[in-house]
Amino acid sequence: MSLNRSLLLAPSFEVAPSLLGSILTVNSPDGAVSLRITEVEAYHGSADPGSHAFRGKTDRNAVMFGEPGHLYTYFTYGMHTCANVVCAPEGQASGCLLRAGEIVEGIELARFRRQTSRADADLAKGPARLTVALGITLDDGGADLAESRISLELCGGNTEVATGPRTGVSGLGGTAEFPWRFWIPGDRTVSPYKAHSPKKREPSEFNPRR
């Protein structure tokens, strides 16, 4: 089934709930892995202090300003890849972070990639685990979800939805004023909520404020 890009033309906070229950499939030489999306977060460009596009377009976030239905990837904490579905009309930089899901096809391959997971429900419980289980890398940034090895089958939002503040987002973007985390209530693959916790820096002899 081809991707109906017109369903992604709304802002991320409207598109995000409709992604729940949709199927994301990633093909590779090792096989295909499909995931039912159970948790997402919406990020909305210059109107959203939590968005990578809050301060405008850069080489890093340019995909977010492009055609909806593409994948925006980024590296976090120097070790993890996260993936977002770009939505809204071109130029508006809206994206939905894929936070968690249930592996519904290719589970043996997902288990091989995520050997530290103790249960199948944990294979893609969290944005970094999700990309590892599916085999998504930073190089997949910009992939067209209608014409690449990664495809998205939209379900139309036919599922119950819960909403709340986004996980681990600092400042205003992580408050109740931005209840843009959406998940399927009661689903065991949904990741636990964590509020932002600023990292404590150890004193250093090179720190002028010591």
Plot region of 204 (φ>0 → left; ψ -120 to 50 → alpha; else → beta): beta
pLDDT at 178: 79
- Contacts for 7 with CB less than 8 Å, ≥ 6 apart: 15, 18, 154, 156
Euclidean distance between CA atoms 103 and 34, whole angstroms: 6
CATH homologous superfamily for the domain 5-183: Methylpurine-DNA glycosylase (MPG) (3.10.300.10)
Q: What does the domain layout of the chain look like in residue ranges?
A: 5-183
Which pLDDT value is given to residue 60?
86
Q: Tell me what pLDDT residue 176 has.
A: 67
The angle formed by the CA atoms of residues 79, 34 and 40, to the nearest 5 degrees, is: 60
- Give the pLDDT of the chain (210 residues) as one tens digit per residue: 579 999 999 999 999 999 999 999 999 999 999 999 999 999 887 777 777 777 778 888 899 899 999 999 999 866 799 999 999 999 998 999 999 999 999 999 999 999 999 999 999 999 999 999 999 999 999 999 999 999 999 986 677 899 998 887 766 555 567 788 999 999 999 998 877 554 444 443 333 332
In 3D space, the residue among 160, 88, 169 whose CA is nearest the CA of residue 127 turns out to be: 169
